[in-house]
Amino acid sequence: MTDEKALQSPIVYVISDSIGETAEFVVRAAASQFNGGDVQVRRVPYVDSQEAIDEIVQAAQEDGAMIAFTIVIPELQQYLIEQADERNVRYVDIMGPMLTALESAYNRPPRREPGLVRKLDEDYFRRVEAIEFAVKYDDGRDPRGLLHADVVLIGVSRTSKTPLSMYLAHKRLKVANVPLVPEVEPPEELFRISHKKIIGLTIEASHLNRIRRERLKALGLTSDANYASVERIQHELEYSDRVMKRLGCTVINVSTKAVEETANMILDLIRQGRTR
């Protein structure tokens, strides 16, 4: 006669001081090695007290279950182990051995902060979303994006709007940028958003002249084209200055600044609440 207990699916209480996804994944991966992995997982996330541990260990004892945990707070971890030992409940510390090994490798203690993996995942996806946003709304392609941007960069051609947008996107900011051209009226969406979200980028005419001449050379064009003429540049800068004054936005002169320096100035403005 087949043992009835052997036919029952094992019960595993997955306990975590975060969401518990890591422990459940490990349990199911291990169970898959046993005839298809039929296992009853009872996940208990966000365990943050000894009282909660008491209830879980008692339930596991009554169910004849085992416990798998990823608790990283030392006091709760030790308490769980003590209670499980006292009640003869089997347990597996999923994170402990790896933390101990890595502590030796890093030569420093772990942070012991719950939920860091999930925070890192969320951070990654926010960065990807911001980069996609910057690409989609680069160079004034779709003015509707201005309404959803965290920061809007405006300025004449070659004031580093696109590199700045991408740099800030890696800081998880949704950035749109709009070129200011005298012959083209700025999009009306620009005047519907808070002036605090707009950063005007300006530059010295002589500096812009050098940049544009080099750009023309790189494209195999003559450097005396209207695009790089001092008169044209002066006209564009005067126009952009008028637009920025109409908007009442913050203006940064990027003449001698690296992209990183300008980006840090913008990040400082955000931290001060001056772009919200």
Q: Which residues participate in the annotated binding site for ADP?
A: 155-162
Residue corresponding to tokens 């064009």: 221
Question: Is 199 strand, coil or helix?
Answer: strand
Cβ contact 45:72 at 8 Å: no
Task: Specify the length of the chain in residues.
Answer: 276
Positive or negative: CA dihedral 224, 225, 226, 232: negative
Q: Chain-centre distance of CA 267, in angstroms?
A: 15
Please give the DSSP secondary-structure letter assigned to residue 17.
Answer: S
Contact status, residue 47 vs residue 19, Cβ threshold 8 Å = no
- Using the 8-state DSSP alphabet, how is residue 65 labeled? -
Binding site, by residue number, is 155-162
Q: What's the Cα-to-Cα distance from 198 to each of 30, 193, 238, rounded to whole Å?
A: 53, 8, 18
- Cα 220 to Cα 91, 207, 224, 226, 233: the distances in Å are 70, 20, 12, 15, 20
Helix (H) or strand (E) holding 263: helix 259-271
